[in-house]
Amino acid sequence: MIQYRNYVMCFYNIHTHFTVSEPNIHEIVNCIIEKQKYPSLDALLFYSVGIHPWYIYNIEEQIHTLKSIVARPNVLAIGEIGLDKLSNVPFDIQQAVFKESAQVAEKERKPLIIHCVKAWAEIVGFKKQIKPAVPWIIHGFRGNSELAKQLLDQGLYLSFGEQFQTKALQKTWDNSHLFAETDDKKTDIRAVYHHIATTLAIPLEELTIQIEKNTKALFPSLLARH
Ligand SMILES: [Zn+2]
């Protein structure tokens, strides 16, 4: 446990495909809604649930499953959902699923965790069209600073993992719309925090305080289990 004056440092991983059980690491575990497999959620963990743009088989069935679990108190976000121009799923189908999932998020008042590959204009288009009340977070952001600026100007949050572009990270930090994650990598979230803090040339404590503030605003229940 690292102490900074009277402050106990906690690390928030808002997008991971694995779970680690350590007292000062708080995480949102990603659960992909797949075909004919009803997701089993552990009551002691926090989740995001969503229909990934690579794995769309039967919209109606998958949306039905999403709606049946989304209201659970340990489901903190809808995701990862998104648009991916490299996916084999037809793009219009991806868009339909995205739009419907975003509407579920509005109804449930839960943030969106977004996967986006080469479809930034469409994501921004949906943001303008839907005018969501819930926050939208782009996960695993690796774009450049111009793209970061464009997305931040739209009020989006950006989440950074192991790899990112320095100027984009700096822009997001200045805007304070920043989160950290490990995604499907077996990395330690603390190593991601260290990498981010070192790149920004700020003390680790400054980063943990800012991310904790953002987490408190978007996912208050993730802090409740201290
Ligand atoms: Zn992921």
The CA 30 to ligand 1 mean position distance, Å, reads 7
The CA 184 to ligand 1 mean position distance, Å, reads 6
Cis peptide before 80 (omega within 30 of 0): yes
The CA 113 to ligand 1 mean position distance, Å, reads 9
pLDDT of residue 6: 64
Q: Which two tokens stand for residue 22?
A: 């350590």
Q: What is the mean pLDDT of residues 18-42?
A: 89
pLDDT of residue 22: 87
User: Where do the domains of the chain lie, and which CATH numbers do they carry?
Assistant: 8-220 (3.20.20.140)
Dist CA 210 CA 115 (whole Å): 23
Phi, psi dihedrals of residue 164, rounded to the nearest 5°: -165, 170
The CA 15 to ligand 1 mean position distance, Å, reads 6
pLDDT of residue 8: 79
pLDDT of residue 5: 60
Count CB-CB contacts under 10 A for residue 87. 19
Q: Which two tokens stand for residue 175?
A: 């805007």
How many residues can be counted in the chain? 226
For 90, the 3-state DSSP assignment is coil
Q: What is the mean pLDDT of residues 58-76?
A: 96
The CA 226 to ligand 1 mean position distance, Å, reads 26
Dist CA 106 CA 178 (whole Å): 22
Count CB-CB contacts under 10 A for residue 196. 22
